[in-house]
Amino acid sequence: MEKAINKQKGLNSNALKLIAIAAMTVDHFTWAVFPGTQKVWYVIALHIIGRITAPVMWFFIAEGCRKTHDIKKYALRMLIFAAVSHFAYCFAFGIPLSVTHGGFFNRTSVMWALMLAVVLAGINQSEKIKEWQKTAAMFAFCVLAFPADWSSIAVMAPLFIYFHNGDKKKQMADIVIWTAVYALVYFLFLDRVYGILQMFTFLSIPLLMLYNGERGKAKGMKWLFYVYYPAHLVVVGIVRLALHGNISAIF
């Protein structure tokens, strides 16, 4: 009885995903309204809110890999989702559809990297695949994920969170460590202020520590995100075009 009561405390996955969706929406519309890396305090504050989203996504990708009955179907669903999201992401931020055109970073959505994380988790589940092959796949997938939003970090962070299932402290450390890597690259090669800003992903840690392991009553929540993510990006793109014309909102 005590265990059942304790499980009800905290935040379920639906609540955490709704928080992540809200933070993501704030962040993406900020890019549309205030394009580029503007060093105005309120713009930075809005982007800080957006840092909550990525770690929550990483965490529940890891949870999904652990709980799914068929990781191959999960990966296929993510692949379709990533393909649709690529077009929506490019439209939202004024990015060329070709991932090889216009730079190396932020050429496609984070969903591409998250899909690769799911595939990599499936590879690591297989006892038929040798350890050196799993390691080689890890490096290869990091290269494939490089052009995505959050780049290779969105592969490695969910994978390590998946590896550390059952140990919240190690999972939260994974978030800090992999975000620090991303922040350092951002600081050195893109923008120093926005590199430091990436570390505000730590705001997600108190929320994730409240996760009670339950899904919540709304069983269709995962489908809401699959629809909402590309749909809201289309609206972001419309706002960008209306306010600024066909400019690139994010580098």
pLDDT surpassing 90 at residue 91: yes
- Per-residue confidence (pLDDT) for residue 18, from 0 to 100: 95
pLDDT surpassing 70 at residue 42: yes
Alpha-carbon distances of 210 from 42, 52, 58, 242, rounded to whole Å: 28, 14, 16, 40
Residues of the chain above pLDDT 90, percent: 87
- Per-residue confidence (pLDDT) for residue 197, from 0 to 100: 97
CB-based burial label for 55 (10 Å; 0-12, 13-18, 19+): buried
- Per-residue confidence (pLDDT) for residue 3, from 0 to 100: 43
Does a structural domain hold residue 175? yes
Mean pLDDT for 70-85 is: 96
Alpha-carbon distances of 181 from 77, 102, 113, 244, rounded to whole Å: 29, 23, 16, 33
Does a structural domain hold residue 215? yes
Inter-residue contact 28 to 94 (CB < 8 Å) = no
Indicate the pLDDT class of residue 86, thresholds 50, 70 and 90. very high
Does a structural domain hold residue 251? no
Does a structural domain hold residue 212? yes
pLDDT surpassing 70 at residue 4: no
- Per-residue confidence (pLDDT) for residue 221, from 0 to 100: 76
Inter-residue contact 120 to 154 (CB < 8 Å) = no
Indicate the pLDDT class of residue 2, thresholds 50, 70 and 90. very low
Q: By C-alpha distance, which of 148, 177, 145 is closest to 163?
A: 177
- Per-residue confidence (pLDDT) for residue 238, from 0 to 100: 98
Domain count, the chain: 1
Q: How far apart are CA 71 and CA 49, in angstroms?
A: 31
Does a structural domain hold residue 19? yes
Q: What is the pLDDT of residues 164-222, one digit of tens each?
A: 999 999 999 999 999 999 999 999 988 999 999 999 999 999 999 999 999 888 777 77
Inter-residue contact 101 to 137 (CB < 8 Å) = no
- Per-residue confidence (pLDDT) for residue 76, from 0 to 100: 97
Indicate the pLDDT class of residue 9, thresholds 50, 70 and 90. confident
Does a structural domain hold residue 249? no
Range of the domain at 114: 2-244
Which carries the bigger pLDDT value, residue 105 or residue 49?
A: 49
pLDDT surpassing 60 at residue 7: no
pLDDT surpassing 90 at residue 21: yes
pLDDT surpassing 90 at residue 137: yes
Does a structural domain hold residue 78? yes
Does a structural domain hold residue 131? yes
